[in-house]
Amino acid sequence: MVTSMENFGTLEYVLDKYSKIWSWKVTGQRAVSMISRLVPEAWYGENTDEVIIPDSIESVKQIKLIMDRYPLEILSKSAWQRKIIKTYTPKPVQQPAKYHLNRAKAGEQFRGKLLNFQKEGLDFLLKSSGNALLADEMGLGKTVQTLSYVATEKQTFPVLVVAPLVTLNNWEREITKFMKKKSRNGRIIESESSSSTIIRTGKSKDLPITDFYIINYELLYKRLSDLSKLNIRTIVCDEVHNLRSKTTQKYKAVKKLAALSSLSYRIGLSGTPIYNRGSEIWPIVDILRPGLLGSFKEFCEYFCYVNEKGKAIVLENKRASLRNELQKHVMLRRKKSDVLKELKDKVRYKEVIDADVDYYFDELGKIWSKLEEEQKQAETAFDKSASYQRAIQSERQIAGIAKVPHVINFVKNIMEIEESVVVFCHHKVIHKLLHERLEEFSPVSIIGGQSDKNRQEAIDKFQRGESKLMIAGIRAGNVGINLTRAKYVIFAELDWSPAIHRQAEDRLHRIGQKNTVFAYYLIGKGTLDDHVANILVDKSYEIDSIMDETADTYENKDKAELILAQIHDKIRSK
């Protein structure tokens, strides 16, 4: 809800009566309420609905954040103009990476041809002794670079590949394609491929002797005893962000395997090793290079602050130094724009579309009533948190349903100008509605719970051009697939993690794509979509400034806090 200047508040540069220092005075009931939530250093003035804010760079940044969405009437315009131009943060200077990379030659067991930057990736893995995080952007061939390393380094077999369930068959195909068979006497057999075994059951039993063992993260702890007997030499953790929480069973299982005396090489692969918060990098690095970032407590004390939810967030002025530390010792990160000059850029659009607001607010009222009742009845903090999460998920679903008719129109308009289109959604009910109402285009689907066979058939049909429309669950279709047939991707719903969206975009934007990829994020007018979009921007800001040198301007720094204050203001003003 946009608020007019008349009923929101004023901003004035004043000499504070009590402290005798120049400060900012904000007046207006709603403005004071919001300021008091965002600027803890503020104090109340001598009149009702009046707050005094210390004149600091941080305070000016916070005021500007608020004014971008809730314009305050400025009573001291010249003073404001002088202050605002001083608030931009200088760009950190990047230190050189530790390794100078050459174009390494793959060993004779590798079948295939590496691009020049992939040869440098091989060199990085060789120079880091195979204990490293390969964090190239998605679509640059991290699997191929890893297999070339396994084929080149000495005594790498047997290899354990731990990966998401949906990528297991892809790993098996890539091993068959790129790895030649080596006999027991060391002779390379050109006509045969390395052997591999996919582990699909949690039931304990002895495993056959093979070159590669491939298992999904969820089964790992159940087969830990069997795997520990195999004298594994190399462990590869694909989509290693699955290990971002050190309290999970899969993390503890990988940690135990990585510490085996037989193990020499630990490789993590992910284009998005940080999903939501910069501190998620610590558990990953602690497996690949134990001790590099100290204990988690030491890491947090140096790099992080703890927000009101108890989450460790990497300090803005520490993000560049964390990135440099990672690049010096453990991480190789290349962007598509750096290494693939022929690959066109991605272009993102935030499209505000209509939504059935009557339905939305009617359902939102029911959710809110149920939430209040559950909060009253909750006996533990866990009950309260679970209730809150259910309310958020319910809001996301009704926002998606409220948009569906207008999403349909948008997709049809794109289909008229483009041959192949991918639409991502989050909830199964939205997936079903889209499939039914776009039936005229004979869409193919990717959705959670599909068999590997049906999933691959849908991908192949789309890539061959037999279907022009793919409807995919955003978390089911964000890894392990190639959709370069299309150059238009539409997000009918938003996920809370920016990494999920990037992975989904990069199903299209990868090697083999010769066109610019156009990504449309559909924002439901009158829903909380816009708030979610801005929270995504805030999370992206932290992730970008750690993973890459580029980041948005300071205005995004505290945007998540501002969004929460906005939601609070919206509820109070209804």
Collapsed DSSP state (helix, strand, coil) of residue 558: coil
For residues 342 and 510, the answer to whether their CB atoms sit within 8 Å is no
Bond prior to 90 in cis (omega within 30° of 0)? no
Distance CA 480, CA 473 (A): 13
318 and 184 co-located in one domain: yes
354 and 454 co-located in one domain: yes
Q: List C-alpha distances in Å: 513 to 266, 342, 346, 517.
A: 31, 9, 11, 8
Assign residue 72 the CATH number of its domain: 3.40.1170
Collapsed DSSP state (helix, strand, coil) of residue 238: strand
335, 356, 389: which is the final residue of a domain?
Answer: 335
Distance CA 31, CA 104 (A): 60
- Select from 420, 424, 340, 288 the least CA-distant residue to 139: 340
List b or e across 478-509, with b for residues whose CB sees 16 or more CB atoms inside 10 angstroms. bbbbbbbbbbbbbbbbbbebbbbbbbbbbbbb
The answer to whether residue 563 is domain-embedded is no
The answer to whether residue 2 is domain-embedded is no
Residue 456 is predicted with a pLDDT of 84
Residue 522: pLDDT band by 50, 70, 90 thresholds? confident
pLDDT of 539 over the 50 cut: yes
pLDDT single digits (tens) 340-366: 665 556 677 777 888 888 888 888 888
415 and 522 co-located in one domain: yes
For residues 548 and 336, the answer to whether their CB atoms sit within 8 Å is no
503 and 434 co-located in one domain: yes
335, 363, 391: which is the final residue of a domain?
Answer: 335
301 and 216 co-located in one domain: yes
Q: Find where tokens 């440098």 sit.
A: 120
Residue 107: pLDDT band by 50, 70, 90 thresholds? very high
pLDDT single digits (tens) 469-481: 989 888 765 555 6
Q: Cβ neighbours of residue 51 under 8 Å, at least 6 residues apart?
A: 25, 26, 27, 31, 32, 35, 36, 42, 43, 44, 45
The answer to whether residue 220 is domain-embedded is yes
The answer to whether residue 115 is domain-embedded is no
The answer to whether residue 425 is domain-embedded is yes
315 and 362 co-located in one domain: no
Q: List C-alpha distances in Å: 367 to 65, 292, 403, 457.
A: 30, 46, 18, 39
For residues 222 and 204, the answer to whether their CB atoms sit within 8 Å is yes
Domain that holds residue 356: 346-552
Please give the DSSP secondary-structure letter assigned to residue 344. Answer: P
pLDDT single digits (tens) 213-272: 999 999 999 999 999 999 999 999 998 988 988 889 999 999 999 999 999 999 999 887
Residue 369 is predicted with a pLDDT of 85
The answer to whether residue 110 is domain-embedded is no
Q: List C-alpha distances in Å: 126 to 103, 117, 484.
A: 11, 14, 31
CA contacts within 13 A on the Cβ side of 218:
6
pLDDT of 554 over the 60 cut: no
The packing angle between helices 281-288 and 296-303, to 10°, is 130
What pTM, to 2 d.p., does this model score? 0.58
pLDDT single digits (tens) 46-84: 777 888 888 888 788 778 877 766 778 888 877 777 766
**Across 322-335, average pLDDT:** 88
Neighbours of 47 (CB within 10 A): 9
List b or e across 453-471, with b for residues whose CB sees 16 or more CB atoms inside 10 angstroms. eebbebbeebbeeebbbbb
Q: List C-alpha distances in Å: 250 to 66, 246, 247, 272, 294.
A: 42, 9, 9, 18, 22
The answer to whether residue 539 is domain-embedded is yes
For residues 271 and 138, the answer to whether their CB atoms sit within 8 Å is yes
Number of domains the chain contains:
3
**Across 459-469, average pLDDT:** 86
Q: Cβ neighbours of residue 277 under 8 Å, at least 6 residues apart?
A: 311, 312, 313, 314, 539, 542
362 and 386 co-located in one domain: yes
Assign residue 252 the CATH number of its domain: 3.40.50.10810
Give the residue, 181 or 459, on which the prediction is more confident: 181
Give 70-105 as a DSSP string. SPPEES-HHHHHHHHTT-PPPPPPPPPPSPPP--PP
Cα 526 → chain centroid: 26
pLDDT of 379 over the 70 cut: yes
Residue 498 is predicted with a pLDDT of 65
What is the percent of the chain with per-residue pLDDT over 70, rounded to a whole number? 81
Distance CA 202, CA 336 (A): 38
**Across 473-499, average pLDDT:** 72
217 and 76 co-located in one domain: no
**Across 369-394, average pLDDT:** 80
- Determine how β-strand 50-54 pairs with β-strand 180-182: unpaired
Residue 162 is predicted with a pLDDT of 96
224 and 370 co-located in one domain: no
Residue 551 is predicted with a pLDDT of 46
299 and 397 co-located in one domain: no
Q: Average per-residue pLDDT in the chain?
A: 80
Assign residue 472 the CATH number of its domain: 3.40.50.300
Residue 317 is predicted with a pLDDT of 79
pLDDT single digits (tens) 78-104: 777 776 654 444 444 444 456 688 999
For residue 92, which amino acid is it? P
The answer to whether residue 268 is domain-embedded is yes
For residue 459, which amino acid is it? I
368 and 477 co-located in one domain: yes
Q: Find where tokens 């390494």 sit.
A: 104
For residues 555 and 68, the answer to whether their CB atoms sit within 8 Å is yes
Q: List C-alpha distances in Å: 278 to 296, 300, 491.
A: 13, 10, 25
Distance CA 132, CA 288 (A): 6
Distance CA 62, CA 8 (A): 16
84, 113, 137: which is the final residue of a domain?
Answer: 84
Q: List C-alpha distances in Å: 94 to 19, 179, 545, 550.
A: 41, 37, 11, 10
228 and 177 co-located in one domain: yes
Residue 214 is predicted with a pLDDT of 97
pLDDT single digits (tens) 227-240: 999 999 999 999 89
pLDDT of 453 over the 90 cut: no
Q: List C-alpha distances in Å: 285 to 66, 123, 355, 381, 503.
A: 37, 20, 44, 31, 21
For residues 278 and 145, the answer to whether their CB atoms sit within 8 Å is no
In sequence order, what E strands does 392-505 have? 421-425, 444-446, 469-473, 488-491
